[in-house]
Amino acid sequence: MPEWQVTRPRGLEPAQRDALVMEHLPLLKHVVGRMSVPHGMEREDLAGYGMIGLLQAADTWDPERGLKFSTYAYPKIRGAVLDELRRRDALTRNQREMLRDVETCVRRLSHEHGVAPTPEEIAKEMALDVSEIEEILADARAAHECSLDADSGGEERTSLGALIGDPRCEDPHGSVEFDEQKQLLVEAIQELPEQEKTVITLYWAEGLLLKEIAEIIGVTESRVSQIHSAAIYRLNRRFAQRNGGRA
HSE, side-chain direction, 13 A CA sphere, residue 82 = 20
In tens, the pLDDT along 107-143 reads 999 999 988 999 999 999 999 999 999 999 988 887 7
Q: Give first-to-last CA distance, the chain, whole Å.
A: 36
Location of each CATH 1.20.140 domain in the chain: 93-242
Calculate what percentage of the chain has a pLDDT beyond 90.
50
The pLDDT value recorded for residue 43 is: 86
Q: Which of 157, 167, 135 is nearest to 240 (CA)?
A: 167
Closest CA to 17 of 26, 4, 25, 8: 8
The burial of 109, by beta-carbon neighbours within 10 Å (0-12 exposed, 13-18 middle, 19 or more buried), is given as middle
3-state secondary structure the chain: CCCCCCCCCCCCCHHHHHHHHHHCHHHHHHHHHCCCCCCCCCHHHHHHHHHHHHHHHHHHCCHHHCCCHHHHHHHHHHHHHHHHHHHHCCCCHHHHHHHHHHHHHHHHHHHHHCCCCCHHHHHHHHCCCHHHHHHHHHHHHHHHHHHHHHCCCCCCCCHHHHHHCCCCCCCCCCCHHHHHHHHHHHHHHHCCCHHHHHHHHHHHHCCCCHHHHHHHHCCCHHHHHHHHHHHHHHHHHHHHHHCCCCC
What span, in angstroms and rounded, lies between the C-alpha atoms of 219 and 195? Answer: 11
For residues 74, 76, 81, 86, the Cα torsion angle rounded to the nearest 10 degrees is 130
**Domain 93-242 falls under CATH 2.60.120:** no
Q: Which residue positions in the chain have pLDDT lower than 70?
A: 1-12, 90, 147-159, 168-179, 243-247
Please give the pLDDT value at position 193.
Answer: 95
pLDDT in tens, 78-96: 999 998 888 877 677 888 8
Domain 14-88 CATH class label: mainly alpha
pTM over 0.95: no
C-alpha–C-alpha distance, residues 23 and 235, integer Å: 36
CA angle 87, 228, 245 (to 5 degrees): 95
By the 10 Å C-beta count (0-12 exposed, 13-18 middle, 19+ buried), 107 is classed as middle
In the chain, which segments carry CATH 1.10.1740.10?
Answer: 14-88
